[in-house]
Structure 1
């Protein structure tokens, strides 16, 4: 080996060691200022609620303020793009959802971000959907709903969170599986969609059990069926679509924290540890159980694998229904 090559190798090794040491030191002092979690939806929906619950837990465990900033619009694209372009230092995070990384890449040929622009931190929640209806809808189960939609095509309207959102895809899945003709009415967030549903301005909505259960219990909405494998402990009286004879209607939405690509491993590993500690707490476990959500503490790599798994699932649905948004 020449002296020049030996010197170059030593220099490269010292640079790598220096970078590794710097990242480790950065993690030791992280965080030393407020952290921002960008939510790509308007306030009030389950994504926003979950982000605010996690921000409280992280604030306590990291001894720094963790604030939530809502950036709704364009099927989570606006919020996601904001974080993709942020400095990869762990101070700007994204509360991503299924739409962001598991379905949008299949719906758009051009996105202002790529899956590789993000670094998974931790899965924060997993929820099935519940199909809820305004009490004025003359159908109380899946069979009656399908018959009504076929008898009067286009009369029933279903709220969604916009083209390409999980709610849009699940409604499309229902139409594809049953032939039900239901009008798609897009909203900018779950809160305004739920408000209009209760007011009777729209007939149906595939919502999170978390936000719809209070309305169901008080009679402002009625539940038709859930997209889970089995009945929810939070609402054991609500049947699944599988029980109702539509096994194709099996769908979940994931929620999780991601950082911009390039964020040091030491920082994302620290955040993963703190998030999983919060998820494993009896308080969070009980809250998730009563609200019909599921927490699965896992490594950042496992979360990345889950994102890819759901990408394959939704990709097949999107392709089979020939849905494109550009």
Structure 2
């Protein structure tokens, strides 16, 4: 009898973590949820994450807010999520760099398996842009112009994947940047103030001056031509370089599967609304959903692909 009681007790102890996870998932969220965006407010990942948070609050009746924690090219915000509990109450809205180039360069204070994807939802409309009156209109013309003129580049940091891609383009195509600098925000003022002649940014950051005709695009770092600039050839078309960037929702490793499924359910519903479709239409952003094992494969593949860009990343 004592042996049976002992076995039952051990079984109960072994089941305790699982039962706790089930209980935690059934009433998720039981406290306020925090979405961490490691960039300043206003760009696409911030806007779309806020929409997900708003819909989560409406559907669950619990507060869900977005906290912007810029710094370190995304590392400050990512570190905040890394320190959180694996309960789904802290959700990171991360660009691809957090899971690839930062780790490969040894910059990250977290491990490769610190986070688990809930889902990838955004294909950034990254572009190279310049003033409308610049004497170059594409990558080839920029390369030729840079041989005899000083051209400065503005980007989001040396460890940001789009920056590495831009440096790779410069080496391959013979673009000579006389100087370059990292900015937390590369917007209309960066060009207007003369802080940079060419900027690596997203269409959302320059939408106002793009629509006004003050700024033009040299290329887009996207899979297909932007809906808002169908005449501008992609980087792949101009150079054969096909890397793109994405953003997704991530939680701490060990978060219950049921909790991740609930977050995914709410996020997918929010991202399928008409207001999100309008944002996609006006900015050229690709909004979709890749979750579960498919998201894990995307990350694994991009991690391997990012290794080839390390030589173009500076300390």
Change over 3 Å in CA distance of 1:44–1:316 after alignment to 2: same
Unaligned runs of 5+ in 2: none
Are 1:156 and 1:203, in contact at CA under 8 Å, matched by a contact in 2?
yes
Please give the residue correspondences for 1:299-310 in structure 2 after superposition, counting only pairs within 5 Å.
Answer: 299-310=291-302
| Residue aligning to 1:161 | 156
TM-score by length of 1: 0.88
- Note if 1:122 corresponds to 2:119: yes
**1:157-210 alpha-carbon deviations (Å, 9 max, x no partner):** 1111112012321221221221211122111234xx542123332111122223
- Note if 1:226 corresponds to 2:220: yes
**1:36-61 alpha-carbon deviations (Å, 9 max, x no partner):** 11111122233322322322222223
For 2:296 and 2:11, the matched residues in 1 are separated by 30
**1:203-251 alpha-carbon deviations (Å, 9 max, x no partner):** 111222233333212012111111223312232232223443x112x23
- Note if 1:314 corresponds to 2:300: no
TM-score by length of 2: 0.90
Equivalent of 2:28 in 30, 37, 46? 30
Q: How far did 1:10 drift?
A: 4.1
| Residue aligning to 1:185 | 181
Are 1:136 and 1:200, in contact at CA under 8 Å, matched by a contact in 2?
no
Give secondary structure in 2 for the equivalent of 1:295.
Answer: strand
Change over 3 Å in CA distance of 1:25–1:136 after alignment to 2: same
Q: How far did 1:112 drift?
A: 1.1
Are 2:188 and 2:209, in contact at CA under 8 Å, matched by a contact in 1?
no
| Residue aligning to 2:261 | 269
- Note if 1:14 corresponds to 2:12: yes
Give secondary structure in 1 for the equivalent of 2:158.
Answer: coil
For 1:173 and 1:24, the matched residues in 2 are separated by 48
Q: How far did 1:121 drift?
A: 1.1
Please give the residue correspondences for 1:38-49 in structure 2 after superposition, counting only pairs within 5 Å.
Answer: 38-49=36-47
Please give the residue correspondences for 1:1-326 in structure 2 after superposition, counting only pairs within 5 Å.
Answer: 10-108=8-106, 111-152=108-149, 155-182=150-177, 183-190=179-186, 193-244=187-238, 246-248=239-241, 250-319=242-311, 321=312, 323=313, 325=315
Q: How far did 1:101 drift?
A: 0.8
For 2:89 and 2:153, the matched residues in 1 are separated by 38
Q: CA RMSD in A?
A: 2.3
For 2:307 and 2:68, the matched residues in 1 are separated by 27
**1:91-120 alpha-carbon deviations (Å, 9 max, x no partner):** 111111111112111122x53111211121
Unaligned runs of 5+ in 1: none
For 2:6 and 2:290, the matched residues in 1 are separated by 40
Count of aligned positions: 314
For 2:314 and 2:88, the matched residues in 1 are separated by 34
Change over 3 Å in CA distance of 1:61–1:315 after alignment to 2: farther
Give secondary structure in 2 for the equivalent of 1:114.
Answer: coil
Are 1:97 and 1:254, in contact at CA under 8 Å, matched by a contact in 2?
yes
